[in-house]
Structure 1
Amino acid sequence: MISLIKSAAGGLTGVCRVYGHQQVLSQCCLKTLPAGLKTFQVPPDYSDVFLPSKPKLKFLNKVPNLKKAKKEMKKLRDIQGPAKASNTFINGQYAIVALGGGYLRWGHLEMIRLTINRKMDSKTTFARWRINAPYKPITRKGLGQRMGGGKGAIDHYVTPVRCGRLIIEMGGMVELGEVEHILSEVAKKLPFPAKVMSKESHAEMLKMQAEKEQNNQNPWTFKRIAQGNMMGIRKVLSPFDLHNHGRYSGKFHFPERV
């Protein structure tokens, strides 16, 4: 049997009671338990957060307030390309960002409003719309009608959304983990791909895209090939492709293209 005693040098030695041999124990075999206070993360500072008097999403009209409704053409260009408006944060810290183009019906907007207003805590959280109420008319003919006869009657209204546009914005005295499950539930029900992002992650995504363009080592980019009309490619390209350098195809976005 070996007992531990403290030596004059300050170390620990093991003494065998049977034979009287002394052996110095290695320091790696000893486990010291440090005594001290636990370190916790500093809680976030919400001193600059302002909660509005009406924190919940407001009701959006199903039909625009017009004296006379006018029919329009399809104009698919309103869902093509990047968003030029409502593509940055204003008040909130978290948002649902569209990763493709599409149309939002009034049913989608009502689903967003009811889901968020019911599940969020209005005492610490607020939400704001970043899109307009439905204003684009969609026409449709009744069943059993023959071809021709002019354009059909207005059936419903939609809101066009482009890639990169913020759908709603949420903020307040909350962290991303507290509202991410609410926003994710809404994002997966939209008719186009969408993602939940914070203000920091959105800025980091834009920064990575800019760095990818700046540090690209491949000289044969879509922009150079299209502008130089190599192999006569301008015959099959549209002005839309020349303007966006092949990063968008209709309502779809290709983030891997530089």
Structure 2
Amino acid sequence: MCTSCIHISVQSNGNKSEAIPSTRMILSELVDTIFVFVRISDDNNTIGTIFIFQIDMACRSFIKNGSHLLRPILFSRTIVNGTQDKPPFPKVLPFGLPLQNELPEVKSVPDTPPNHQVYPNISRRLLECRGIEIIHNKLIHKQYGIMALAPGLMKENHFNTIRDMTNKRIDMERCFSIWRVDPPWHPWYFKGLNKKRGAGKGSLEYFVTPIKANRIIIEIGGSLSFDYLYRTLLTIAESLPFPAIPVSQELLDKWEAERNEIQEKNINPLRWEYLIRNNIMNCHRFTDFYDIEFARYGPKVR
């Protein structure tokens, strides 16, 4: 049980002021507690001020059927169930971000090169997937994205899955999304079942996009926080044919700082780069070209 006290005072516009005697009422079985401050005006002149302490939905019937001074409260104040601890996200994107809100649809079949009636045959070239990505491994707009942890091939259905999940599950009025990978361009051939082997390549089945490790797949940003987007980005990453995780710029900076710290505090002079560069113990005899080309520190030894 809790009580409520309503005090009404009226002040005229003239030099003299007159006050209405205080009215004290007891309202029982009140649940919520709110504070209301209402100014009642008549013909653009302030007549009085009403301050209500601890009023609830239960006293609306009293306000509606009570004095005419209390009736404007019903129309001046709307009681909202629940509270909002955080302000809503702005719908205007920060300056400098792209205006492309939704991921566009990609072509499943690339354009035929000039002077060719059909797409030319290409070997599988699995070398496109080997090694660590050294160019597209950073976020352009310094916000959020999805990074591949292992190499793989992306087909048309993977692009469509990413596009549908991103455009439907994320509020695109408050953020943007862009592709960081090329549309499918590499032809992939396949022989049907119960067919003889040999006799050249099989028929063209579909096109794929080779992906290296540490490659950024998509980039998302705007006025939304990383915690708000994490679950959606994790679901998108799990739908890919290779291991991938959602990342942010803070997370990438943290990983880079840890790698730099390990290199700076390493007291062992015989590092991998030093051994390969100086051919210590004739290591070039059993070191392959691909071991140097596709290693993490391979570009430093070339």
| TM-score clears 0.5 | yes
1:138 deviation in Å? Answer: 0.7
Q: TM (normalized to structure 1)? A: 0.72
Give 3-state SS (helix, strand or coil) of 1:126's partner: strand
For 2:241, give the aligned amino acid.
P
Contact 2:175 2:222 in 1 (8 A): yes
The structure 1 residue matched to 2:234, chosen from 184, 197, 202, is 184
Give 3-state SS (helix, strand or coil) of 1:139's partner: strand
Moved more, 146-155 or 126-135: 146-155
Residue 109 of structure 2 corresponds to residue 63 of structure 1: yes
Which structure has the larger Rg over C-alpha atoms? 2
Aligned pairs for 1:121-136 (under 5 A) are: 121-136=171-186
Which residue matches 1:238? 288
The structure 1 residue matched to 2:219, chosen from 159, 169, 176, is 169
The structure 1 residue matched to 2:251, chosen from 201, 205, 219, is 201
Which residue matches 1:96? 146
The structure 1 residue matched to 2:268, chosen from 210, 218, 222, is 218
Moved more, 234-243 or 108-117: 234-243
For 2:132, give the aligned amino acid.
P
Rounded Cα–Cα distance in structure 2 between residues aligned with 1:78 and 1:42: 46
1:206 deviation in Å? Answer: 2.0
For 2:232, give the aligned amino acid.
I
Give 3-state SS (helix, strand or coil) of 2:247's partner: strand
Rounded Cα–Cα distance in structure 2 between residues aligned with 1:104 and 1:173: 29
Rounded Cα–Cα distance in structure 1 between residues aligned with 2:145 and 2:130: 21
Change (3 A) 1:210 1:151: same
1:191 deviation in Å? Answer: 1.6
Change (3 A) 1:44 1:215: farther
Give 3-state SS (helix, strand or coil) of 1:241's partner: helix
Q: TM (normalized to structure 2)? A: 0.62
1:219 deviation in Å? Answer: 2.6
Higher relative contact order (CA closer than 8 Å, sequence separation 6+): 1
Contact 1:136 1:159 in 2 (8 A): yes
Which residue matches 2:167? 117
Q: Which runs of at least 4 in structure 1 moved beyond 6 Å after TM superposition?
A: 40-47
Question: For 1:202-233, what per-residue CA distance to the aligned partner results, in whole angstroms no more than 9, with x for missing partners?
Answer: 12212322332232222332233334445554
Question: For 1:90-112, what per-residue CA distance to the aligned partner results, in whole angstroms no more than 9, with x for missing partners?
Answer: 23610001112111111111110
Give 3-state SS (helix, strand or coil) of 2:259's partner: helix
1:243 deviation in Å? Answer: 3.3
For 2:168, give the aligned amino acid.
R
Moved more, 152-161 or 83-92: 83-92
1:63 deviation in Å? Answer: 0.9
Change (3 A) 1:44 1:112: closer
Unmatched tracts of structure 1, length 5 or more: 1-39, 249-258
For 1:96, give the aligned amino acid.
I
1:54 deviation in Å? Answer: 3.8
Rounded Cα–Cα distance in structure 1 between residues aligned with 2:131 and 2:104: 29
1:150 deviation in Å? Answer: 0.9
Aligned pairs for 1:9-88 (under 5 A) are: 48-49=94-95, 52-66=98-112, 67-88=117-138
Unmatched tracts of structure 2, length 5 or more: 1-84
